[in-house]
Chains A and B, each alone.
Chain A
Amino acid sequence: MSTITFGRAINTGLRKAMEHDSKVVLIGEDIGKLGGVFRITDELQKDFGAHRVIDAPLAESAILGTAVGMAYRGYRPVCEIQFDGFIYPAFNQIVSQVAKLHYRTQGRVKMPLTIRVPFGGGIGAAEHHSESPEAYFTHTSGLRVISVSNPQDAFTMIQQAIACDDPVLFFEPKRRYHVKGEVDEEVDLGSFSLEQARVEIPGEDVTLVAYGALVQVAKDAALAAREEGISVEVIDLRSLSPLDFATLEASVRKTGRLVITHEAAMTGGLGAEVAASITERCFYHLEHAPVRVTGFDIPYPPAKMEHHHLPDLDRMLDGVDRVLGRTNSLSGLEGN
């Protein structure tokens, strides 16, 4: 066990993956000498060479497109998209090529790419640097989508993602990069599958589902609720595609109440999918309609306004009150 930051945990996981398999190559902007703008690839170019840690020209579509070509030749590229909001120029290569090539070639060509994306807000960043684009990718078949919330999972799951023969979008909550946690570097990578959610805090009254940076906020909210005598079960989705409905169903069958939270906009987001699917699967166990506590359907706002947009502890507790039928901000409003 060592206590390291979230960012260092990914760095260490990348290093392990590169040591384990010589076909693992990293490609991205500023990832070499600089070690990435968040230093996630710090020292890796020095240790593995510029041929395995490739500083790419500033073209996201080409980072993905050349990675496809490398995968055609048996490589296992790990692409870094510098910031969430820079992924859109690569959208065509991800959605039309990376996601589909295994299907299009009837299984003959594998696309074992890992696409690392620092995502989400809360760091007071400039525009296009705080977005949550994950739902575009969970809507795309052929991709697996992961978001980790703590150093141990970051360390373990980046290696699982790289070892996976399917393409994986790996969303890293950048506001957690500097948070420290215990990491067991000897962990068995096969101890859980890439599709598994985890119950972070067991509870009886309400299921609160989160991923990425909001897992910690949800855990804080659960502790606060406990002081009011409400038992909240917090689930970290970890896998956004596929969603782990076995874990979600088991929780909701027990609590009967579901709150889903994410930074991304509400409409068509992960919350909508979780709510719809859980309603289909567990309708007779629900005591209240599922509640979503999410970012608004707005472009990501300027830094001084982002705290209005980002779900925080109080908004989550308000959601918990709503799903419990307790007095809440929308009490008396029809349809609540």
Chain B
Amino acid sequence: MRSVSGENLVQLLTPEGTRVAGPYGEWVADIDGARLQGLYEDMVVVRRVDQEATALQRQGELALWPPLLGQEAAQIGSGRALRKDDFVFSSYRENGVAYCRGVDYTDMIRVWRGNAPSGWDPYEINMATPQVIIGAQTLHATGYAMATKLDGADSVAVAYFGDGATSQGDVNEAMVFAASFQAPVVFFCQNNQWAISEPVTLQAQRDIADRAPGFGIPSVRVDGNDVLACMAVTREALERARSGGGPSFIEAVTYRMGPHTTADDPTRYRDPNELEDWKGRDPIDRLANLLEAEGLLTADFTDRVNAKADEVAAQLRHGCVTLPEPGELDVFNNVYTTPHSVLERQRDHYTRYLASFEAAGGGAR
């Protein structure tokens, strides 16, 4: 396993919960007690959302769920650094980022319940529909950033992807294009150590962050379980992009504490001791230790946070189980923007087919 600590890893909050100074400290100097409490609340809520969705899958209400357990700091730290007019292109695991973008909770699970091909309106929260084809979204982010530059705007595109994606051609091509066109894009790689059963050592023989400079892109390795450090390096990269400095690459070193998805069984390929080690670096516990030391983890506060988490989870569950069933002809919708004669004929024939059951007295299927 590549190093998960050490000198080249930006850290502003130790696993014991001590806030440390460092060259990146100035980027989060404004994060005071109240803001720390806000980040804590975010992380607790998205973990609760993750647990609720996992439970919904186990209860047969969702077909699948990709948990983010353990990656809360990487997603909240970076997600809370973004401006509203920045645009996110993510994989399927960035539900913490979606939360920061203000997603409607029901929209998070439409796809996983199988009710719709996507959840939210990308233009409502400035976040593209999540990507399942590994790494493909990094090119979309780069193209979006190229267009942003054409427009003369100062918003930034952010691509989220994992360690496994860095082996894909698309990710490498994205870095070539981003560098050549000096596109305002941030590549945010969550190295969670595992691509389903494949360890990061199969994808990379050196630190992933080491690759970017070869493309002409500055990179940084950050403790992905340190919410302050993740926010700091993201703010720096965003500022570089906004001020015309081009792309940046962030490797957030974290750990996928759960399975790849609810269909996965990590006990078949992972050493249980590894999980225990990483539990000692839990991103929420770490911030809790800091809040505790500063007298900010009061019972009042944690009660409030837990109540919020329960409320969000209840909304998620309610939204999930009350989702209306799709209509019988909805499969034909939105394939084209204007009618396509061959598909229209298929729709017409299927409509007649369905009607034939009623004509036969059997009622619609």
Do A and B come together as binding partners?
A: yes
Among B118, B141, B169, B341, contact of A105 (Cβ-Cβ < 8 Å): B118
Q: Is B34 an interface residue (CB 8 A)?
A: no
| B147 engages A141 (CB within 8 Å) | no
| A65 engages B142 (CB within 8 Å) | yes
Q: Is B29 an interface residue (CB 8 A)?
A: no
Query: In the complex, A3→B220 CA distance in Å?
Result: 59
Q: Mark B121-163, 1 if CB is under 8 A from A, else 0.
A: 1110000110001001011111111111011000001000000
Q: Is B265 an interface residue (CB 8 A)?
A: no
CB-CB under 8 A for A57 and B139, given A73-B144, A106-B333, A106-B334: no
Q: Is B340 an interface residue (CB 8 A)?
A: yes
| B129 engages A105 (CB within 8 Å) | yes
Q: Is A328 an interface residue (CB 8 A)?
A: no
Query: In the complex, A293→B156 CA distance in Å?
Result: 53
Among B141, B180, B335, B337, contact of A141 (Cβ-Cβ < 8 Å): B335
Min C-beta distance of A137 to chain B, whole Å: 14
In the bound complex, residues from chain B placing their C-beta under 8 Å from that of A165 are: 337-338
Within 8 A of A (CB), among B62-93: 87, 89
A-B Cβ contacts below 8 A, count: 149
Q: Is B28 an interface residue (CB 8 A)?
A: no
Among A65, A74, A103, A242, contact of B117 (Cβ-Cβ < 8 Å): A103
Min C-beta distance of A233 to chain B, whole Å: 21
In the bound complex, residues from chain B placing their C-beta under 8 Å from that of A65 are: 136, 138-140, 142-143, 170, 173-174
| B342 engages A242 (CB within 8 Å) | yes
Q: Is B269 an interface residue (CB 8 A)?
A: no
Min C-beta distance of A101 to chain B, whole Å: 8
Query: In the complex, A141→B332 CA distance in Å?
Result: 11
Min C-beta distance of B241 to chain A, whole Å: 14
Min C-beta distance of A273 to chain B, whole Å: 9
CB-CB under 8 A for A166 and B337, given A61-B169, A93-B139: yes
- Which of the 9-residue segments A107-115, A122-130, A250-258, A299-307 touches chain B? A107-115
Q: Is A144 an interface residue (CB 8 A)?
A: yes
In the bound complex, residues from chain A placing their C-beta under 8 Å from that of B136 are: 65, 92-93, 96-97
Query: In the complex, A25→B170 CA distance in Å?
Result: 21
| A66 engages B146 (CB within 8 Å) | yes
Among A70, A102, A104, A195, contact of B144 (Cβ-Cβ < 8 Å): A70
Query: In the complex, A244→B341 CA distance in Å?
Result: 8
Q: Is B343 an interface residue (CB 8 A)?
A: yes
Residue of A nearest to B150 (CB): A51
Within 8 A of A (CB), among B230-250: none
Q: Is B176 an interface residue (CB 8 A)?
A: yes
CB-CB under 8 A for A61 and B139, given A70-B147, A72-B144: yes
Query: In the complex, A103→B139 CA distance in Å?
Result: 20
In the bound complex, residues from chain B placing their C-beta under 8 Å from that of A110 are: 337
In the bound complex, residues from chain A placing their C-beta under 8 Å from that of B121 are: 105, 108
Among A73, A107, A242, contact of B337 (Cβ-Cβ < 8 Å): A107
Q: Is A243 an interface residue (CB 8 A)?
A: yes
Q: Is A68 an interface residue (CB 8 A)?
A: yes
Q: List 23 A-B contacts (CB under 8 A).
A: A57-B177, A65-B139, A65-B143, A65-B170, A66-B174, A67-B143, A68-B139, A68-B143, A69-B140, A69-B147, A72-B140, A72-B143, A75-B150, A92-B136, A93-B170, A104-B117, A105-B121, A107-B333, A107-B337, A110-B337, A141-B343, A241-B340, A241-B342
By Cβ-Cβ distance, the 4 closest A-B pairs, closest first, are: A69-B143, A65-B139, A66-B143, A69-B144
Known: A93-B170, A106-B117, A165-B337. 15 other contacts (CB 8 A): A59-B169, A61-B170, A65-B142, A66-B177, A72-B122, A73-B144, A73-B151, A75-B150, A93-B136, A106-B333, A106-B334, A107-B337, A108-B122, A195-B340, A242-B340
